[in-house]
Structure formats: structure tokens, C-alpha cells
């Protein structure tokens, strides 16, 4: 079964690319990626640009409306995701707990609805 691990965290200044701090920070993520690859559970995943880069899209009365920026002001913001193929929720939670953000943010694990007809 596929599970989406949605990664939420408070906005903060991450280390600058090219610095030793950035290398250490990214090292944790690369280690998790390798665990997922070795276990054969990684189906995909990406980091997202900040909510300030978002565009909201709504269709009302047949008219498409767009608005820049996030819909709601919240403490934690969606920063990325992993798509994992796991045997069950317990296994998905085990892998989600390895995501570095789980230590100080939130990782929401949701089953992907199977719409194969």
C-alpha cells in the first residue's frame, strides 16, 4: 500500500548551501533517502518551495480565480513529502519517524487512495 508522508515544520533559516552546516543538515536527509532506497519503499518525494511562492486556484461560477501565497496562516507549513510503498501503517510510521523533521516538526502519514478501476 502507498503512504504519503507529509512533512510539516515551522519556518526557519536553514543553513546556507556550501557550508559545513548545510552538508551536515543534508547528510541526515541523504541517510534517510538511502534507508528508503535500500528497503525498496521509496516511490518518490520532493522538497517544496516556501508557502509564499504558492498560487491558490479556485473555480467559482465557472470562473478560475488565483491568489498568491498560502491559504491559511499556520505555525507549521508543508515543506515536502515522501511517497512510500509499505506493507501497512505500522511500517509507514516506522519510516516516517526517521525523517529528520519528525524531531521538531510533524510528519503526517496518510494512505494513498487506490483508484485503480
Q: How many domains does the chain have?
A: 1
The answer to whether residue 116 sits within a structural domain is: no
Task: Record the pTM.
Answer: 0.86
pLDDT in tens, the chain (117 residues): 999 999 999 887 788 899 999 999 999 999 999 999 999 999 999 999 888 888 989 999 999 999 887 666 677 889 999 999 999 999 999 999 999 999 999 999 999 998 887
- Determine phi and psi for 86, rounding to 5 degrees: -130, 160
Q: How far is it, in rounded angstroms, from Cα 73 to Cα 3?
A: 26
Structural domain containing residue 59 = 2-111
The answer to whether residue 81 sits within a structural domain is: yes
The answer to whether residue 49 sits within a structural domain is: yes
Q: How many CB atoms lie within 10 A of CB 77?
A: 19
Q: Who's near 45: CB < 8 A, 6+ residues apart? A: 5, 33, 80, 81, 82, 83
Looking at residue 52, what is its pLDDT?
83
CATH of the domain at 25: 3.30.70.1060
Q: Which residues of 10-48 are buried (b: 16+ CB within 10 A; e: fewer)?
A: eeeeeeeeeeeeeeeeeeeeeebeeebeeeebbeebeee
Contact predicate 4/78, CB 8 Å: no
The answer to whether residue 37 sits within a structural domain is: yes
Amino acid at each position: 500500500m502507498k503512504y504519503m508522508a507529509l512533512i510539516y515544520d515551522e519556518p526557519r533559516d536553514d543553513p546556507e548551501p556550501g557550508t559545513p552546516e548545510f552538508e551536515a543538515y543534508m547528510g541526515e536527509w541523504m541517510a534517510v533517502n538511502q534507508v528508503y532506497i535500500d528497503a525498496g519503499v521509496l516511490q518518490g518525494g520532493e522538497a517544496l518551495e516556501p508557502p509564499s511562492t504558492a498560487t491558490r486556484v479556485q473555480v467559482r461560477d465557472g470562473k478560475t480565480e488565483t491568489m498568491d501565497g498560502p491559504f491559511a496562516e499556520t505555525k507549521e507549513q508543508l515543506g515536502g513529502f515522501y511517497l512510500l510503498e509499505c506493507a501497512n501503517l505500522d511500517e509507514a510510521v516506522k519510516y516516517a519517524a526517521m525523517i529528520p523533521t519528525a524531531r521538531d516538526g510533524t510528519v503526517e502519514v496518510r494512505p494513498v487512495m487506490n483508484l485503480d478501476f
